[in-house]
Structure 1
């Protein structure tokens, strides 16, 4: 059994996929044994890599708007644990950032989740987190999975990535803002108050 401090030190020093990372390794995550809500996104972008602060970019601004919380609350690790599918910036591809490195989640997630026994809600942001955590229960497309969010509650809420690149998706799917976001906010605020 890992001690929490030992696990964090080991994860921060990870060099598992160093040879694939154009900016080098810089694992970015924030968890505590007492985190109530776990945010599992994709991987840090260049701004997050530079600052070492998760969701410290326009995507993070949009995510906090969806959650109905400010930066102070979001960065309180006793409330929000933040653990992406890939801890380091994976590099740039043709249509944006590369996918999270496949080595990361199998190496760290189970060990880290074992150290967070009070997590009551996990937000699965984007297709990589949904595929990994929902497996065969996820729907044919990300849109269908997010639309079926109530099927995964109260353990998970699947979300589209809050990237500015997905604004068109949000415009085409107004039900997300009308149904998913209010449910998400209510659940998050209920857990913050506990």
Structure 2
């Protein structure tokens, strides 16, 4: 009656390989990577992207519901991982774009708080602007306002962007912005910021 819920972010093919071995041993294995960061974990509002059969998902729900507010059945095993890398590729792209825009505004003398609110309420609005602003002091509880400590590390984002690019190559999918975001985060990590929150990428883009 063992049920294994893997909330790592790894390659879909790896989840499928582990699930096959688990099935041979009579063990239910599902992939259920999460989104929502450390704040979502503490608040119990994580989003789970689940790769499983319908019956496996029903078994897992009582546990997932203790930790998450949104539970999506993405498909069969491995589908949760695919959904997660798509999400994180978009997040990496959005954070780089948001950082570029704020850095440009600040270089022209704009107040980052005012600019962020203008963009948040305009067509440039996105999660980074609203919940996870990369400029220090805009959001009191964002890692940017805490020396970029905690949160989701640059090296973790780099790992996920790498998974997305590996998958894009395997499926012959075109992801030029994903590839560019990976290169930017790789340079940021090499510069010594791998342990800082991924929003610290704005440091690369600010006028020195």
Which has the larger Rg?
Answer: 2
For normalisation by structure 1, the TM-score amounts to: 0.30
Bigger share in helix: 2
Normalising by structure 2, we get a TM-score of 0.28
